[in-house]
């Protein structure tokens, strides 16, 4: 349930807080007072697209926050899936800031969030029914969703869509495979050449680095040999000189001679002996390097040719040997596929055919269920519309088979007749604005128990109606509000008088600036507001008496 809404610097609203209650909350005000701004602010909280034009003139940002409590299990589950959780008291606070630079900020319980996260959780918090939804009624492509929702066909539809997507993917692959024989032969020739060239090169990972090392060895062979021999003689000694090892052995022997009279000399002797062992290891490794340097590491010209070959192949197949070998593997697979084209194509055709048949089978099952549900839908909506002062309405769901699509094999359209003796026709050709509003309310009531949303908002659902029809729309909204919170923007006293809470939206001008306020009304305030709606500019005592009568009759 929407517990609290705070709006700051949104259009003509500078700052306002609205504390909503359970039951039916009505919002009234003059045309242009700012009722739509409240709805726009709620839309922002729900993660819907916003515009920088919403920001109050002269401000750099706008801010909206909404606190919800008594969350449904589905809302809590979605919140957890998004990585958030409700507070200890079960509430969740959603905030959104809209900046003039286009970089907005969203938060859920104080933690950063994305607009997509707001939209995901918002789906299970609030459902807004506005005039645009009347346009849905005039667009047959939306009608199938009403039938599916009433029949709880979500799981069956998702299973069908999964199979259908497999079919679409296979069909796409099959279409890509349809190229002429000449093109296939040309591709085979090219791939054969590329595979042969890379296979003949016989590359292996690390070869390039080895070749560079070998080339460096050959180019610097004399310098390497000279330095290694000199370092070996420095350690091991030569014909006429002692090396470092002999000097250390002499030092070690001298210290051993006095170890019996100078104990510290023995410790020093042991340390020098350890150094001798380490240097002997170094000498042996130097000798090994000398042998490596003397070994034949290859012909420089052959090594240069090999390096040039790798560079040449690299310009065509990849910057590294890893990339060239990956290219070779992919080329082999593609070549194999093309060489077995007919065999692969037949298998793909069969897989595509199987996927289509499975999708068709599931679509027909859906279609059969929809046919059964359509009768229940027509009957239930007709009963609702009869209550809403449309007793002569006839409602038919026309269901035609069509090519497989995302929703199955059905083209569904609601047909309506509002007068006796008329043949039901498409909604767009028959229904007036008031009839559309009532029809929308009837459908929403029929589908009300099929979602898990605690707050419903009806934005000017009373468009085009008056008299007893308006009274009955109000009674229907009141009925809905017994099981969930309802917010209703209305221009009609018959509906406003039924509210459990009443908020007046009023525009004023101060110091050349426009301000909109949202004020909760007490009984006296409600009476005056109802009288304004009824009487217009001049409010008489009779108007006030009638407004009071409306309030008392609905209490």
CA 36 to chain centre: 28
Distances (CA, A) of 68 to 3, 20, 315, 328, 480: 5, 10, 62, 59, 19
Distance CA 470, CA 466 (A): 5
CATH of 1-125+501-521, one of 3.90.1150.10, 3.30.470.30, 3.40.50.720, 3.40.50.300: 3.40.50.300
Q: How many Cβ atoms sit within 10 Å of the Cβ of residue 313?
A: 19
How is 26-55 classified by DSSP, letter by letter? EEE--TTSSHHHHHHHHHHHTT----GGGB
Sign of the dihedral through C-alpha 120, 124, 128, 129: positive
Domain residue limits, the chain = 1-125+501-521, 185-339, 523-555
CB of 26 within 8 A of CB of 503? Answer: yes
Exposed e or buried b per residue across 337-358, where buried means at least 16 C-beta atoms within 10 angstroms of its C-beta: ebeeeeeeeeebeeebeebbee
Beta bridge partners of residue 95, listed in sequence order? 65, 107
* Per-residue DSSP letter, 56: P
How is 398-466 classified by DSSP, letter by letter? EEEEEEEETTEEEEEEEEEE-STTPPPEEHHHH--HHHHHHHHHHHHHHHGGGS--SEEEEESTTTT--
Per-residue confidence in pLDDT tens, the chain, 555 aa: 999 999 999 988 889 999 999 999 999 988 777 788 898 899 999 988 888 888 888 889 999 999 999 888 888 989 999 999 898 888 999 999 999 887 889 999 999 999 999 999 988 898 887 655 566 677 788 899 899 989 999 899 999 999 999 999 998 877 766 656 677 788 899 999 999 999 999 999 999 998 998 888 888 877 887 888 888 888 888 777 788 888 888 888 898 888 888 888 888 989 999 998 998 899 888 888 887 766 665 688 888 999 999 999 999 999 899 999 999 999 999 898 788 777 777 888 899 999 999 999 999 999 999 999 999 999 999 998 888 888 888 999 999 999 999 999 999 999 998 888 888 888 877 766 667 778 888 888 888 777 668 888 888 777 777 778 888 888 888 888 888 899 998 888 889 999 999 999 988 888 878 888 899 999 999 999 999 888 866 788 888 888 888 888 765
Q: Cα(first)–Cα(last) distance of the chain, in Å?
A: 23
Distances (CA, A) of 80 to 70, 73, 89, 193, 240: 15, 11, 16, 56, 85
Of 455, 456, 419, 424, nearest to 440 by C-alpha is: 456
| Burial (0-12, 13-18, 19+ Cβ within 10 Å), 419 | exposed
Alpha-helix residue ranges (DSSP H) falling in 448-540: 467-480, 493-496, 523-535
Contacts for 213 with CB less than 8 Å, ≥ 6 apart: none
Query: Tokens representing 507?
Result: 């525009």
Model pLDDT, residue 181: 65
- What phi and psi values does residue 409 have, to the nearest 5 degrees? -125, 25
Query: Tokens representing 160?
Result: 């069908």
Model pLDDT, residue 179: 59
Model pLDDT, residue 93: 95
Of 384, 479, 466, nearest to 433 by C-alpha is: 466
Model pLDDT, residue 544: 87
Cα angle value 232/237/243 (rounded, 5°): 95
Of 46, 52, 51, nearest to 115 by C-alpha is: 46
Q: How many Cβ atoms sit within 10 Å of the Cβ of residue 225?
A: 14
Model pLDDT, residue 295: 61
Model pLDDT, residue 346: 80
Model pLDDT, residue 388: 85
Model pLDDT, residue 432: 67
Exposed e or buried b per residue across 35-66, where buried means at least 16 C-beta atoms within 10 angstroms of its C-beta: bbbbbbbbbbbbbeebeeebbbeeeebbbbbb
């Amino acid at each position: 349930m929407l517990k609290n809404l705070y709006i700051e610097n949104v259009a003509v609203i500078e700052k306002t807080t609205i504390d909503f209650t359970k039951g039916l909350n009505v919002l009234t005000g003059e045309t242009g007072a700012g009722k739509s701004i409240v709805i726009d602010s709620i839309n922002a909280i729900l993660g819907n697209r916003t515009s920088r034009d919403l920001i109050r003139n002269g401000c750099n940002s706008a801010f909206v926050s909404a606190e919800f409590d008594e969350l449904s299990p589905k809302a809590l589950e979605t919140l957890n899936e998004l990585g958030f959780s409700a507070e200890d008291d079960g509430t969740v606070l959603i905030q959104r800031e809209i900046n003039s630079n286009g970089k907005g900020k969203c938060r859920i319980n104080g933690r950063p969030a994305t607009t997509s996260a707001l939209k995901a959780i918002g789906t299970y918090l609030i459902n807004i029914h506005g005039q645009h939804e009347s346009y849905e009624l005039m667009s047959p492509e939306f009608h199938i969703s009403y039938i599916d929702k009433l029949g709880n066909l979500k799981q069956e539809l998702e299973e069908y869509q999964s199979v259908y997507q497999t079919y679409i993917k296979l069909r796409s692959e099959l279409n890509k495979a349809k190229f002429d024989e000449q093109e296939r032969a040309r591709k085979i020739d090219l791939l054969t050449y590329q595979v042969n060239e890379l296979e003949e090169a016989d590359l292996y990972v690390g070869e390039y680095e080895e070749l560079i090392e070998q080339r460096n060895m050959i180019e610097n062979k004399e310098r390497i040999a000279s330095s290694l021999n000199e370092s070996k003689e420095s350690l091991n000694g030569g014909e006429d000189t002692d090396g470092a090892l002999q000097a250390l052995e002499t030092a070690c022997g001298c210290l051993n001679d006095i170890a019996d009279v100078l104990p510290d000399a023995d410790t020093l002797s042991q340390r020098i002996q350890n150094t001798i062992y380490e240097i002997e290891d170094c000498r042996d490794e130097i000798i090994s390097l000398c042998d490596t340097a003397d070994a034949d590491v290859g012909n420089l010209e052959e090594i240069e040719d090999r390096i040039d070959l790798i560079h040449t192949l690299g310009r065509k197949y990849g910057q590294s040997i890893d990339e060239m070998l990956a290219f070779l593997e992919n080329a082999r697979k593609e070549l194999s596929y093309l060489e077995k084209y007919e065999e692969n194509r037949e298998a793909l055709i069969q897989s595509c055919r199987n996927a289509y048949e499975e999708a068709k089978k599931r679509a027909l099952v859906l279609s059969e269920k929809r046919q059964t549900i359509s009768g229940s839908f027509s009957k239930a909506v007709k009963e609702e519309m009869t209550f809403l002062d449309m007793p002569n309405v006839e409602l038919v769901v026309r269901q035609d088979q069509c090519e497989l699509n995302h929703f199955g094999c059905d083209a569904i359209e609601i047909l309506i007749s509002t007068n006796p003796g008329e043949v039901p026709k498409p909604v767009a050709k028959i229904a007036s604005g008031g009839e559309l509003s009532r029809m929308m309310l009837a459908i929403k009531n029929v589908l009300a128990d099929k979602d898990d949303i605690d707050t419903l908002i009806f934005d000017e659902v009373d468009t085009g109606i008056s008299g007893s029809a308006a009274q009955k729309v109000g009674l229907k909204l009141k009925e809905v509000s017994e099981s969930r919170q309802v917010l209703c923007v209305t221009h009609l006293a018959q509906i406003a008088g039924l509210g459990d809470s009443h908020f007046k939206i009023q525009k004023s001008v101060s110091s050349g600036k426009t301000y909109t306020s949202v004020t909760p009304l007490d009984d006296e305030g409600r009476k005056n507001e109802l009288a304004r709606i009824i009487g217009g500019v001049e409010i008489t005592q009779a108007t006030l008496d009638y407004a009071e009568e409306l309030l008392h009759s609905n209490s």
